[in-house]
Amino acid sequence: MLDPGSQTYLPDEALAAVMRQRGVRLGQNTRFVCSCGSGVSACVVALALEKLGEPRVQVYDGSWTQWGSDPSLPVETGEAVPAGAA
C-alpha cells in the first residue's frame, strides 16, 4: 500500500489494485473493521480504505492483543483460507 521510496500511499488506482488483488471488494458499501496485532497497522489499512472512498471503515483498536487475551471470546483456528477463496 505504500511506495517503498517515499513511504507514502500509492496513487489511488495502484492502491485499489493492491486491495483487489488481496480480495478486498471496494465500492460495494461494505462495512470494514480493520484489526491487527496492536491496532497500529490497522490504522494504515483503514486510512487507505478511507482514501479510496469507502464510507464504512472502523478500527478495532484493541486488536488481537485485547481479543486474544480474553478466554471468553471465540478464536477460530485451523488452516488459513487465501483471500478471495471464501
Catalytically active residues, by annotation: 36
Sorted by sequence, the CB contacts under 8 Å of residue 75 that are 6+ apart come out as 67, 68
Only one residue has cell 487507505, namely 48
Cα gap 58→65, rounded to integer Å: 17
Q: Is residue 26 helix, strand or coil? A: coil
Residue 9 Cα to chain centre, angstroms:
14
With contact defined as beta carbons under 8 Å apart, do 61 and 42 qualify?
yes
